[in-house]
Structure 1
Amino acid sequence: MRKHLFLILYAFLLALGVQAQEALFRAQNIVSPEIHDDNSVTFRLHAPNATAVQVTGDFLPSVKMETPMGQMDGPGKANLTKGENGVWEFKTPVLGSELYNYSFIVDGFSTTDPSNPFLIRDVASVTNIFIVGGGHADLFKTNDIPHGSVTRRWYDSPGLGMDRRITIYTPAGYETSTEKYPVLYLLHGAGGDEEAWIALGRTAQIMDNLIAQKKAKPMIVVMPNGNVIQDGAPGEGSQNFYKPQFMIPKTMDGTYEGAFGDIIKFVESNYRVKADKANRAIAGLSMGGYHTLHISRFYPNTFDYMGLFSAAIMAREDATGKVYSNFDQTLKTQMDNGYKLYWIAIGKTDFLYDANKEYRTKLDAMKMPYQYVESEGGHTWRNWRVYLTQFAPRLFQ
């Protein structure tokens, strides 16, 4: 009798296990996103009880959105169609080569794609990502080439009164060579941190690919945290886990620019670098472009290469930091000291376009040399990744 009960129980548990495995495999059979041979993409979501499902992402035509920084381009939306077994689908037209982000909206609730484990954080928003290759986005892929290393270090910042976290890329072969390298200091925008350029910007993949193709010189890329009240990114610093914010206290008040020498000192004391002006570059996006502009003129004989990507330009009227004083004179001093490249890039629909146009008018009046790139699109990572692929090959030549 006991043996009979054991067999019944065993069969029951076995049936449960089979059902669980079937459920697991059914979930795995949903492929989303599916990138087709013609570079169209199909999205799928199993949501049998939903009444409406949409996908939103930067592969769709942009729409105007109100943000804390004014009206900006945002991702559009498309409706999925419900099919058999409660699986909703949407197929795109042929997409161009790019790294795209997306998420689903189920009955008004935003959520990520459970069939796609690849996620990225931008400030406090988490979205899925996918890459369509066959063009410039091949530079964003991890390819079968020599790879550099990415490390997170902590450096002492006397100017800010704390140890701070920093992300540093060293090119392939750095660990086994005795060579000294030039340095690019690459700065993030508002709401970002020391993780932004390496994750959203695909810096390691871009640099590995450009260097392997001999389009860029091997260089060290230093990606600091520009938020002076943080010692590290949310979840990585002493404040531990908290919701990231777009604008935090002391943002763009001159403190970061004034203490930037601490970062240079750390890098030049701990890495094999060519510690001179000809081998230092600085660039950044949005707030990072603002920091680049003001750091490079506050330290007017420090960098030979500057890159302003969709840069914020002038300090707020209430900003009183020493860094912002004598703007015209320090800019002239920077020009008189000479440099090899002052590179400005912005999208035609960027909300900072007019500010950049006014700044170029100022530079023209001063006869300050610069190179200008105007692209399609607005204030987006799609532009900033491309700007890095265009800027890095021009350095240290």
Structure 2
Amino acid sequence: MKNKFLLLALGLMTLSTYAQQDLFNEPALVSPEINPDNTVTFRVKAPLAQTVSVSGSLDGEHAFAPISYEMEKGDKGIWTFTTPELPSELYRYHFSIDSVRTVDPSNPYAIRDVSNLSNIFLVEGGKADMYKVQDVPHGTVAYRWYDSPGNDKKRRMAVYTPAGYEKTTDAYPVLYLLHGVGGDEEAWLGSGRAAQILDNLIAQGKAEPMIVVMTNGNVYQEASPGNGSSGFPKITFMLPNTMDGKFEETFVDAMKFIKENYRTKDTKASRAIAGLSMGGFHTANIALNYPNTFDYIGLFSSALGVPRNGVTSPMYENKDEKLRQQMENGYELYWMAIGEDDMDMILRGNESFRNQMDEMGMEYEYVETDGGHTWNNWRDYLVIFAQRLFK
């Protein structure tokens, strides 16, 4: 009888082992493999494929540009490609197998950007160390639902509280951090690595401990796709109410929730707002319409020049008058950054806005960097901007 139980146990162990292995019990491919010289090798098994390529941010000078490289077929139908040496950065990529986009089956780490999934990897030893989870005190990220009467629905936001928030009775300053078109309340936490950046900056004493509020700028949604009552809708890039003034009009609902539910320093000097692309457009207009609310304003590749096809809103009226009022009320920092290779309409829109500020003598700081409308720029901008706040 003992032998029967032993054989049964061994059989179950064998089944369990096989269940956790590749279906055909083949050793898993290593992909991506970050080599000692910071080149990166990709591998995928596709024995019947005619063409395989890898696409993504695989060029150090043009990170996140849509660059594709053909992979070479080798033994057992394994396709490979090795990049040149890559600088420290967080990279994303995907495969194309006979023109069909797919993620890397050997890499479980992926991020959704609008409706596309891309794998990610990180090359250490430089600025990307700021995006890593390091051995430092960690803050807490919570997804919170709040009432938004202006939108007649409950909506979801993400809130980062710094390490130690739960153990103290201290009040903290607040940064409202807004995403771009097609994004949601998860964007800055995923592609933006906001929690890791704040953890590391605060631990290094380079940034003040702060609460960071990441709202969903698409007021048509309750929450990011799959997290609202609509279930699992088809994900689309442009939604109703995009840049039509409704988000700016109802932003007070989010601020009210934060004030009532978190220990915040309820002063202008302790509030900041920043955003990328559409979020930069939202930031500029929220700052205009609530001109004595924020002492720190950050526009990251702001979509100020994007045409809105005749959309009108009280939020977008009397811009000169609102801007002048904001200037007269005063503020600590108005910071703008953009990549020199950004889209022409966005570059022109930002130039026009700066000219308007120049004409009335309104102070600001302007930074033009390499690159374009990309997450690697926006992460850099957050690292810089966060260190300037609440000093």
Measured against the shorter chain, the TM-score band is over 0.9
1:136-157 deviation digits (Å, cap 9, x = unpaired): 1101100111000000000111
What is the percentage of aligned positions where both structures have the same residue?
56
Q: Summarize the alignment of residues 1-397 of structure 1 with structure 2, pairs less than 5 Å apart.
A: 23=22, 27-60=26-59, 74-313=65-304, 316=308, 318-351=310-343, 352-397=346-391
- Cα distance in 2 between the residues matched to 1:39 and 1:110: 26
Secondary structure of 2:146 counterpart: strand
Letter in 2 for 1:112: V
Letter in 2 for 1:284: G
- Cα distance in 2 between the residues matched to 1:51 and 1:160: 51
Q: CA offset at residue 313 of structure 1?
A: 1.3
1:62–1:76 Cα contact (<8 Å) kept: no
Secondary structure of 1:384 counterpart: helix
Q: CA offset at residue 361 of structure 1?
A: 1.5
| Structure 1 stretches lacking a partner, 5+ long | 1-11, 64-72
Cα 1:27–1:370 change in 2 (3 A) is: farther
Q: CA offset at residue 37 of structure 1?
A: 1.2
- Cα distance in 2 between the residues matched to 1:201 and 1:238: 26
Q: So what's the TM-score if we normalise by structure 2?
A: 0.92
**How many pairs are equivalent?**
380
Letter in 2 for 1:228: V
Q: So what's the TM-score if we normalise by structure 1?
A: 0.91
Partner of 1:66: none
Secondary structure of 2:151 counterpart: coil
Moved more, 308-317 or 110-119: 308-317
Letter in 2 for 1:251: T
2:18–2:25 Cα contact (<8 Å) kept: no
1:165–1:232 Cα contact (<8 Å) kept: yes
Q: CA offset at residue 363 of structure 1?
A: 1.2
Secondary structure of 2:175 counterpart: strand
1:61–1:75 Cα contact (<8 Å) kept: no
Partner of 2:8: none
- Cα distance in 2 between the residues matched to 1:198 and 1:305: 21
Cα 1:368–1:13 change in 2 (3 A) is: closer
- Cα distance in 2 between the residues matched to 1:198 and 1:349: 25
2:60–2:86 Cα contact (<8 Å) kept: no
Q: CA offset at residue 21 of structure 1?
A: 7.7
1:61–1:76 Cα contact (<8 Å) kept: no
Post-superposition, which runs of at least 4 consecutive aligned residues in structure 1 deviate over 4 A? 12-28
Q: CA offset at residue 324 of structure 1?
A: 0.8
Secondary structure of 1:159 counterpart: helix
Secondary structure of 2:31 counterpart: coil
2:60–2:87 Cα contact (<8 Å) kept: no
Cα 1:51–1:302 change in 2 (3 A) is: same
- Cα distance in 2 between the residues matched to 1:150 and 1:324: 33
| Structure 2 stretches lacking a partner, 5+ long | 1-10
1:189–1:284 Cα contact (<8 Å) kept: yes
2:22–2:28 Cα contact (<8 Å) kept: no
1:62–1:74 Cα contact (<8 Å) kept: no
Partner of 1:7: none
- Cα distance in 1 between the residues matched to 2:251 and 2:14: 64
Cα 1:13–1:138 change in 2 (3 A) is: closer
Q: CA offset at residue 319 of structure 1?
A: 1.9
1:229–1:250 Cα contact (<8 Å) kept: yes
- Cα distance in 2 between the residues matched to 1:164 and 1:229: 10
